[in-house]
Amino acid sequence: LSGAQRLTWRCAVVFFRLVLWSSNCPYTVTGLENVDPDGNYFFAANHESLWDVPLLFSVLPYWLIAVAKKSIAMVPIFGWAVAAGGTVWVDRKNSASAKKTMDEAEKSLRARPRSVLVFPEGTRTPDGELQEFKKGVFILAIQAGYPVVPVCVCGTYDVVVKGKRAIKSRPLHLKIGKPIETKDMTYEDRDKLSQMVLQQVTAMKAEWRAGQASQSGGKVEPFYHCFVPTPKADKKFWGRLPPP
């Protein structure tokens, strides 16, 4: 990363951690031992609410670019912070434009590798349940030859329910699954890959729900700590829990 890119990325991460702090949401993460601290991945996460992005950007210790619908760019401050990482904006209403954008994204990732954040459901869940995973983002992962890491976002649905404005304080958790290699996959494997990721996310969500009653709220990250640079995945840091 250049100096300007590092500064922009750091500002975006600080902003998202401040979002969690200001909403009084403590957060934890498990599964970082599954990923290479120096690797590049497609992180495929379920989409529960607007608080998913702040949680993911705060926790994942990688320079992330997101694949997101174009309308997000128009959201004041929030959209600008997402764009700071180099977001790939997809116009879902224009299939030709969307395909061109994805082809350009593939070339960019091959020329300058970095990790990618995608929401295969395509939109936020209306009821807190997992929706069908769309296969478009997995085609890009296969074409770029990136491992796909299933990620389960837990607790954000109750912070901001889709269609409502009220913000509620809730403990949040991120579960990181095991990477799925795509190097030997082809376009024909897109459905298989989608289902493999969905199965892991479904299992992680069920595991979280089974232990939800015994989970404590934890502590909210202190204000000053929101400005501390995020270390690599193999280092101790705020919210990182040891492997079970």
Q: Using one digit for the tens of pLDDT, what is the confidence trace for 164-185?
A: 888 999 999 999 999 999 999 9
Note the pLDDT of residue 82.
Answer: 57
Residue 71: is its pLDDT beyond 60?
no
Q: What is the pLDDT of residue 73?
A: 53
Query: Which of 4, 70, 157 minimizes the C-alpha distance to 12?
Result: 4
For 78-82, 110-114, 199-203, 231-235, which range has the lowest pLDDT when averaged over its residues? 78-82
As separate numbers, helices (DSSP H) first and strands (DSSP E) second, the chain gives 6, 7
Determine the distance from the C-alpha atom of residue 42 to the mean position of all C-alpha atoms in its chain, rounded to a whole number: 9
Q: How would residue 220 be classed by pLDDT, with cut points 50, 70 and 90?
A: very high
The greatest distance separating any two alpha carbons of the chain, rounded to the nearest whole angstrom, comes to 49
Give dist(CA 127, CA 162) in Å, integer. 8
Note the pLDDT of residue 98: 55
Q: Which sign does the torsion angle of CA 208, 211, 213, 216 carry?
A: negative
> Hey, what are 71's tokens?
């309308």
- Residue 62 in tokens: 């990688």
The band of 163, judged by pLDDT with boundaries at 50, 70 and 90, is: confident
CA neighbor of 23 nearest in space, from 221, 174, 213: 221
- Does the pLDDT value for residue 157 go beyond 60? yes
User: 148-154 and 42-45 as β-strands: parallel, antiparallel, unpaired?
Assistant: parallel
- Residue type at position 116: V
How many residues make up the chain in this entry?
244
User: Per-residue confidence at 234, pLDDT binned at 50, 70, 90?
Assistant: very high
Q: What is the pTM of this model?
A: 0.88
Relative orientation angle of helices 136-144 and 190-211, to the nearest 10 degrees = 110
On the question of pLDDT at 218 being above 90, the answer is no
| pLDDT above 90 as % of the chain | 59
User: Which residues, in sequence order, are CB contacts of 14 under 8 Å at separation 6+?
Assistant: 226, 227
Sign of CA dihedral 22, 55, 84, 87: negative
User: Which range has highest mean pLDDT (7-11, 44-48, 140-144)?
Assistant: 44-48
* pLDDT value, residue 114: 82
Could you give the CA distance from residue 174 to residue 48 in angstroms, rounded to a whole number?
12
4-30 mean pLDDT: 89
Which stretch, 77-86, 100-109, 173-182, has highest mean pLDDT?
Answer: 173-182
C-alpha to C-alpha distance for 199 and 175, rounded to whole angstroms: 14
> 192 falls in which pLDDT band (50, 70, 90)?
very high
For range 152-166, the mean pLDDT: 90
Percentage with pLDDT > 70 across the chain:
80
Contact criterion met (CB below 8 Å) for 88 and 65: yes
Name the token pair of 67. 């694949």
Q: Which helix (H) or strand (E) holds 144?
A: helix 136-144
Q: In terms of pLDDT, which residue wins out, 156 or 108?
A: 156
